[in-house]
Structure 1
Amino acid sequence: MRFLWLMAGLLFSALAWAQPVREVKDDTGRTLQIPAQPQRVLVLHEALLGVPLLELGVNVVGAYGRDDAGRSLMGVDAIRNVLGERPGATQVRGIGAVGSIDLERVRALKPDLIIGTELDAGHVATMSAIAPVYLQRSAAGAAQGFAAQKALAALLGREAAYAALLRDYQRQLASVKAQLPPPAQPPGRYLAIFLHDRINVVGTMSGMVQAIEDLGLRRQPLSDGSVQATGQSTLMEPISTETFGRLNPDLLFVMRTFTAQPQGEAGVAADLDKLTPGWRRFLRPARQRRVVYLDSVKVTTPTVASARHTLTAIEQWLDKRHAK
């Protein structure tokens, strides 16, 4: 029996490498050959890579932070929260704890392409023995909005799927844009805040940012030195409570950490009460009902889906304004 399993594995590998390949250059400048039409893709970051690929219809077979049955071990399931229930879809299996690859699990999933970020460069030599490894740049400032998903669509021949997603998104975008009240109309200013154990300003790589800027809003400039840059996150950088208290963008978006419950206004308010007591009195966007409360899990992936979740949150904010 062991011999039969060995022969089956060798046969699968032979068939995988027998399929047509093409030469590409990844975002770190490496040239490699990948399958012309990958059938079993494994990702080294679920939110930045796995969710965008799944929305495009790519068969993602493995990622960090899941067990062998495909259940999330991260406290929050990014796939389900962003993309919803996917009846009949193949479960994304786990390849080990975040940052710790179980090579036996990777081999068992029989990927024909592995996609990681530039931070996974140290795994290339080992994992290239299993399947080609393509690295996509994801550092802060390297990509805007859901441009990373567009690049993945081009890489894997999913341009038609991406175009269909974009059409539906643009219809919703036009509807929301027509309803924006002054001063949130273009060329208004916005700022997005992420609450963790401190107050952070959100970067540029997410569907949320894409949606907000496609509405015609522009990022509120912050004074030099007000952002305490650490370079440790693709999503956010901390600001002081004093800087936060002085903020007066035309539209302020606020969300709390991924695993915190409840998401939305009630949870955000509880966090702000701890971080900066009295914020409802001194923060002008709060006094003037110019705050949109977001679910961080849904809006922070670089996907069309996250952009649409953001538009939906803005629609709900508009409905509440109209009701008062």
Structure 2
Amino acid sequence: MRRFATICAALMLGTSALAQTKQVTDDAGRSVEIPVEPKRIVALHEPLIGLPMMELGLNVVALYGRAKNGETLMDIDFVEGVFGISAAEKGLTGIGAIGDVDLELVRSLKPDLMVGITQQQRLAETFSSIAPVYLQDFASDAVTGFAVEKKIAAALGREDTYARLEADYRRRVDEVRATLPQGDEDKTYLAVIVFDQINVLRNKSGAVQALEDLGYSRAALPDTDDRNEHGLGFMAPLNSETFVKLDPDILVIMNGYMSTEQGEAAVRKNLDALAPGWDRFMKAAKEKRIVFANSIAVATPTIASARHMLDSIEEWSRQ
């Protein structure tokens, strides 16, 4: 009998440990009780939240914006673009198209945590009866580079994983820096992303973090509105007249991530339409100080995206 009681107590202790929770305040100012070690997470924003959690090794079971079979319902697949692996290979499913969530599917997944961005408070209210919802800031000026991933790591007990990822990344930065032209310390960069207009990237992505970690600082932008609320602070519009007058030490150009056409030829075609003759006027273009990047790979706030940017810069530096 005493042995039976001991076994029961051990089982109860194990159940308690598995269900252990903690009270936290998310970036929306909400008090949320979340699992200490979440086992089944649904990400409510693929590139900004889902990918950082996946890189940290957290078990993301579903992503907003994908179908039940895991296929993306958007024009782009950030999981494959950044990690080089399909959603099926990662064992991912989806919870429906943006604006058309399948609540029954969400319930069937039995998530123990859902994570989104602070702009998704209405969605958080919808899902709060299914699982706790933690909201992470992305848009404020204080959130730059890898800040989202670092904060998620702290909230969900993955600080050691993050530290290893960052240490490996810093070693890669040193390797690439050694391949760059030596000389002036005050080197500048300009990173632009082309949609239906030219936009300058702010420090919200792996691309810009890599450039700044290599020692570049952003070129001054005299006539630019340095904020674009539609892009969650990710980019700011840059008029074509200003663009062609700029002379950064390194010019990084990419097509918008909604475009299936990436690479040099596609970027040149779009820029030719928006700023005719840009490659004849810009000194960086004439002196071949241009890096053409794939925005799907480098635009997320992950260490993986920064490493993709480092690879592109190293390839350019060795030409």
**TM-score, L = length of structure 2:** 0.90
Q: Does the 8 Å CA contact 2:255/2:261 hold for their aligned counterparts?
A: no
Deviation at 1:230, TM superposition (A): 3.9
Distance 2:145 2:153 in 1: 15
In the alignment, the residues of structure 2 paired with residue 119 and residue 294 of structure 1 have an alpha-carbon distance, to the nearest angstrom, of 29
What is aligned with 1:122? 122
**1:15-59 Cα deviation digits (max 9, x unpaired):** 799701011111122111101100001111000000111111111
- Superposed displacement of residue 278, structure 1: 1.0
Residue matched to 1:295: 294
| 5+ long unaligned stretches in structure 2 | 1-14
Counterpart in the other structure of 1:46: 46
Does the 8 Å contact 1:257/1:296 carry over to 2?
A: yes
Following the alignment from structure 1 to structure 2, what is the Cα–Cα distance between the partners of residues 315 and 48?
26
What residue in structure 2 maps to residue 231 of structure 1? 229
Q: SS where residue 230 of structure 2 aligns?
A: coil
* Whole-angstrom distance in 2 between the partners of 1:148 and 1:310: 18
Q: Find the aligned partners of 1:128 and 1:25 in 2 and give their Cα distance.
A: 15
Aligned to 2:147: 147
Once the two structures are superposed, the pairs formed by residues 183-222 of structure 1 within 5 Å of their partners are: 186-222=185-221
Secondary structure of 1:285's partner? helix
Change in Cα spacing, 1:16 to 1:96, as seen in structure 2 (3 Å) is farther
1:56 aligned partner, one-letter code: L
Deviates most, 209-218 or 17-26: 17-26
Task: Say which SS state the counterpart of residue 96 (structure 2) adopts.
Answer: coil
User: Offset of 1:229 from its aligned partner?
Assistant: 4.1
Q: Which residue of 1 aligns with 2:4?
A: none
Q: C-alpha distance in 2, partners of 1:296/1:271?
A: 14
Cα distance in 2, alignment partners of residues 128 and 104 from structure 1: 14
2 CA distance for matches of 1:78 and 1:109?
A: 22
What SS does structure 1 have at the residue aligned with 2:162?
helix
SS of residue paired to 1:72? coil
Q: What TM-score results when the alignment is normalised by the length of structure 1?
A: 0.89
CA contact (8 A) 1:261 1:267 kept: no
Unmatched segments (≥5 aa) in structure 1: 1-14
- In 2, Cα distance between the equivalents of 1:229 and 1:25? 27
| Alpha-carbon offset, residue 187 of structure 1 | 2.4
- Percentage of matched positions with identical amino acids: 44
Equivalent residue number for residue 317 of structure 2: 318
User: How far, CA to CA, are the matches of 1:134 and 1:305 in structure 2?
Assistant: 23
1:137 Cα deviation (Å)?
Answer: 0.5
Aligned pair in 2 of structure 1 residues 228, 138: CA closer, same or farther (>3 Å)? Answer: closer
- Structure 1 residues 59 and 231: CA distance shift in structure 2, 3 A: same
Cα displacement string for residues 194-249 of structure 1 (whole angstroms, at most 9, x for unaligned residues): 000111111211111111111111111211x4237441112212111111111111
Quote the offset at 1:83 in angstroms: 0.9
Q: CA deviation at 1:113?
A: 0.4
Deviation at 1:275, TM superposition (A): 1.1
Q: CA deviation at 1:79?
A: 0.5
Determine the structure 2 residue equivalent to 1:58. 58
Q: Residues of 2 paired with 1:88 and 1:64: CA distance?
A: 15
Structure 2 CA distance for partners of 1:228 and 1:156, relative to 1, 3 Å? closer
